[in-house]
């Protein structure tokens, strides 16, 4: 991990704060896949989860620590813990297999949080910091302390809290803007104040963690760096609690493009940004807005005549970074119908995916099927195939066959054959349109009482033979679930997306104890 003074550590919390986005919860396999990609991005620290929250969270953090935490040049693997013994001991156990384990313990320091939420006195909070950081240090060398809601805390008390954490052995001190209240000038000033006045502050790394409630998370993170912070907590695509966290790709590219201004650097392999963005979007079902900086579909599209004219004369007229720097390939053609198993394996390896022979065999069959339907295959197509392969191992509902008829003369009718718990069922039904016919029929076949919240469709690659990707959100009494499906036939993609959402809902119901629970489903601890 970097310790040079002009180096900024990138602390990724996609798997913890990002996972707290409504509807963005991930399964263990999905978390592992994201963690592998974060390692490829070369982040310094992965906050892999909140181990005490549930046995599933513990299991995911432990698996990430074991696998990703032991890669060559592995990032530190971090587990979150409230400032209580049980959380810290659980986090210590979950991250113990990593070569660089970190415990991140936090407690609120603002009057409103101490008084109304914790019902603790300021003295009680200082004691909890002392106890928790000391306990964490007994288990790992690398302890991070966060003063939750720091930006609404009394400065003098915050400085005291930070001092106690440093005295007890915290090597990173995080000053989170938990509710997204900060403004750039204010947060810069706060970091300067703490670093200048707290004894021992210059010996530790100060970290910022900004939420985007006022749309200022990235600006505030950059200002915190100007104030002396040397760690930024952020997420891929800026996902996170409420309006989200600071978007990693935006912070890092601002530092890179404006290096002369900031004089700071990161170790991030920026060419991995686009792929990371797509992966997180696929796994969470959170669509990236087209005009999103750095990774949005339109981030490099020049539409107006004047812009196009200038761009064609000299790219620098309207472009401050080139798409290749962030991994946008411009839809590079990679494989086709005649490509063999070996070419597929090679290509996957250059994309960073190493599959077992058995996994490769399965993927190759699906690859051939897709290549038959679609002339040209792009990296994005392969990633969708892999994602589907990785994340739907034991689905309750499996689409077997689909036939849809419609047009101007006959009412839309769908005939669906699906497997439910291993048994095939068949049904036909009408609808207001072909997708409606499919969804009504699937609802009857699965017996679901969930409500469709949203349905969106987009073409993954250009051309009329593009792989269409459908994203569906469903809700069952407050339990949200997201599913995605991709196919060259948009109706098949729609059916797959709906079934993916229903399968994920089944897993969530299981986790929430609504279905006959798995023995490991203990009662959940509330999220921070």
User: Which residues form the interface with ligand KIV (CB under 6 A)?
Assistant: 17, 106, 146, 148, 174, 176, 178, 209, 211, 528
Q: Taking CB under 5 A as the rule, does residue 12 contact Zn ion?
A: no
Q: What region, left, alpha or beta, does residue 447 occupy, with left being phi > 0 and alpha being psi -120 to 50 degrees?
A: left
528 contacts which partner out of ligand KIV, Zn ion, none, CB within 5 to 8 A by kind? ligand KIV
Cβ 13 to Zn ion, closest distance in Å? Answer: 7
Residue with tokens 């990703």: 68
Cβ 147 to ligand KIV, closest distance in Å? Answer: 9
Among 17-25, 100-108, 217-225, 268-276, the segment contacting Zn ion (CB under 5 A): 17-25
Decide whether 237 or 270 has the Cβ nearer to Zn ion.
237
Decide whether 176 or 327 has the Cβ nearer to Zn ion.
176
Decide whether 75 or 176 has the Cβ nearer to Zn ion.
176
Q: Are 237 and 292 a contacting pair, CB within 8 Å?
A: yes
Cβ 209 to ligand KIV, closest distance in Å? Answer: 5
Cβ 212 to Zn ion, closest distance in Å? Answer: 10
Q: Are 233 and 208 a contacting pair, CB within 8 Å?
A: yes
Measuring CA to CA, which residue among 398, 403, 358, 374 is closest to residue 485? 398
Among 9-17, 54-62, 274-282, 292-300, the segment contacting Zn ion (CB under 5 A): 9-17
146 contacts which partner out of Zn ion, ligand KIV, none, CB within 5 to 8 A by kind? ligand KIV
DSSP state of 158: H
Greatest alpha-carbon span in the chain: 80
148 contacts which partner out of Zn ion, ligand KIV, none, CB within 5 to 8 A by kind? ligand KIV
- Taking CB under 5 A as the criterion, the residue among 9, 14, 16, 17 binding Zn ion is 17
431 contacts which partner out of ligand KIV, Zn ion, none, CB within 5 to 8 A by kind? none
Decide whether 152 or 509 has the Cβ nearer to ligand KIV.
152
Cβ 122 to ligand KIV, closest distance in Å? Answer: 18
Handedness of CA 427, 432, 435, 436 (dihedral sign): negative
Cβ 79 to ligand KIV, closest distance in Å? Answer: 12
Decide whether 176 or 327 has the Cβ nearer to ligand KIV.
176
504 contacts which partner out of Zn ion, ligand KIV, none, CB within 5 to 8 A by kind? none
Among 13-21, 304-312, 340-348, 464-472, the segment contacting Zn ion (CB under 5 A): 13-21
Alpha-carbon distance of 220 to 213, in angstroms, equals 12
CB nearest Zn ion: which residue?
17
3-state SS assignment for residue 64: helix
Strands in 337-460 per DSSP E:
376-378, 397-405, 413-420, 423-430, 451-459
Cβ 221 to Zn ion, closest distance in Å? Answer: 12
Decide whether 17 or 142 has the Cβ nearer to Zn ion.
17
Provide the 10 A C-beta neighbour count for residue 407: 8
* E strand or H helix at 98: none
Measuring CA to CA, which residue among 423, 370, 413, 366 is closest to residue 389? 366
Decide whether 133 or 334 has the Cβ nearer to ligand KIV.
133
Cβ 71 to ligand KIV, closest distance in Å? Answer: 25
Cβ 483 to ligand KIV, closest distance in Å? Answer: 27
User: In this structure, what token pair is assigned to residue 419?
Assistant: 């497997």
44 contacts which partner out of ligand KIV, Zn ion, none, CB within 5 to 8 A by kind? none
For the sheet with 413-420, list strands across it: 397-405, 413-420, 423-430
DSSP state of 342: H
| Cβ-proximal residues to 333 (8 Å cutoff; 6+ apart), any chain | 376, 377, 378
105 contacts which partner out of Zn ion, ligand KIV, none, CB within 5 to 8 A by kind? none
3-state SS assignment for residue 338: coil
Q: What number of residues does the chain have?
A: 528
Decide whether 21 or 450 has the Cβ nearer to ligand KIV.
21
Cβ 17 to ligand KIV, closest distance in Å? Answer: 5
Dihedral pair phi/psi, residue 376, rounded to 5°: -110, 135
Decide whether 17 or 57 has the Cβ nearer to ligand KIV.
17
Decide whether 17 or 250 has the Cβ nearer to ligand KIV.
17
- Cα dihedral 459, 460, 461, 464 in deg (nearest 10): -30
Angle of helix 490-511 relative to helix 434-446, nearest 10 degrees?
A: 30
Decide whether 148 or 379 has the Cβ nearer to ligand KIV.
148
Measuring CA to CA, which residue among 265, 202, 200 is closest to residue 232? 265
Tell me whether strands 479-487 and 468-476 are parallel, antiparallel or unpaired: antiparallel
Q: What region, left, alpha or beta, does residue 163 occupy, with left being phi > 0 and alpha being psi -120 to 50 degrees?
A: alpha
Cβ 46 to Zn ion, closest distance in Å? Answer: 15
For residue 457, list its beta bridge partners: 470
For Zn ion, the binding residues (CB under 5 A) are 17
């Amino acid at each position: 991990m970097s310790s040079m003074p002009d180096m900024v550590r990138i602390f990724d919390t996609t798997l913890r704060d990002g996972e707290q986005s409504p509807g963005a919860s991930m399964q263990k396999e999905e978390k592992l896949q994201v963690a592998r990609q974060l390692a490829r991005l070369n982040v310094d620290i992965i906050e892999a989860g909140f181990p005490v929250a549930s046995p599933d969270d513990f299991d995911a953090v432990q698996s990430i620590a074991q696998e990703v935490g032991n890669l060559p040049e592995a990032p530190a693997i971090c587990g979150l813990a409230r400032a209580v013994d049980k959380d810290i001991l659980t986090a210590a156990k979950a991250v113990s297999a990593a070569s660089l384990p970190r415990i991140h313990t936090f407690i609120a320091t603002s009057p409103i949080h101490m008084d109304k939420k914790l019902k603790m006195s300021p003295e009680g909070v200082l004691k909890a910091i002392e106890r928790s950081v000391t306990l964490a240090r007994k288990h790992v060398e690398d302890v991070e302390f966060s003063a939750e809601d720091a930006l609404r805390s009394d400065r003098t008390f915050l400085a005291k809290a930070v001092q106690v954490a440093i005295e007890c052995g915290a090597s990173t001190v995080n000053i989170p803007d938990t509710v997204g209240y900060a403004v750039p000038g204010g947060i810069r000033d706060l970091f300067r104040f703490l670093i200048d006045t707290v004894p021992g502050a210059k010996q530790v790394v100060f970290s910022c963690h900004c939420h985007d409630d006022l749309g200022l998370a990235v600006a505030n993170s950059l200002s915190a760096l100007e104030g002396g912070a040397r760690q930024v907590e952020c997420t891929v695509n800026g996902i996170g609690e409420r309006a989200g966290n600071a978007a990693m790709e935006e912070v890092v590219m601002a530092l890179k493009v404006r290096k002369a201004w900031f004089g700071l650097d990161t170790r991030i392999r920026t060419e991995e940004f686009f792929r990371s963005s797509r992966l997180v979007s696929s796994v969470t079902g959170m669509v990236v807005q087209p005009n999103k900086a750095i990774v949005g579909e339109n981030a490099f599209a020049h539409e107006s005549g004047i812009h196009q004219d200038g761009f064609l004369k000299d790219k620098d007229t309207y472009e401050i970074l080139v798409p290749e720097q962030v991994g946008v390939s411009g839809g590079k053609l990679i494989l086709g119908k005649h490509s063999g198993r070996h070419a597929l394996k090679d290509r996957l390896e250059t994309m960073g995916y190493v599959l077992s022979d058995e996994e490769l065999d399965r993927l190759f069959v699906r690859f051939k099927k897709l290549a038959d339907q679609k002339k040209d295959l792009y990296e994005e197509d392969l990633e969708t195939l892999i994602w589907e392969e990785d994340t739907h191992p034991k689905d309750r509902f499996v689409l077997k066959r689909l036939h849809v008829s419609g047009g101007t003369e006959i009412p839309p009718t769908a005939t669906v054959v699906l497997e439910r718990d291993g048994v095939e069922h068949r049904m036909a039904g009408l609808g207001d349109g072909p997708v409606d016919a499919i969804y009504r029929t699937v609802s009857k076949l699965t017996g679901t009482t969930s409500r469709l919240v949203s349905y969106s469709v987009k073409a993954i690659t250009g051309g009329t033979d593009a792989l269409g990707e459908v994203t569906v959100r469903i809700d069952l009494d407050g339990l949200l679930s997201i599913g995605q499906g991709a196919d060259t036939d948009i109706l098949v993609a729609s059916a797959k997306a709906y079934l993916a959402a229903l399968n994920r809902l089944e897993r969530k119901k299981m986790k929430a104890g609504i279905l006959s629970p798995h023995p490991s489903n203990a009662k959940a601890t509330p999220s921070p």
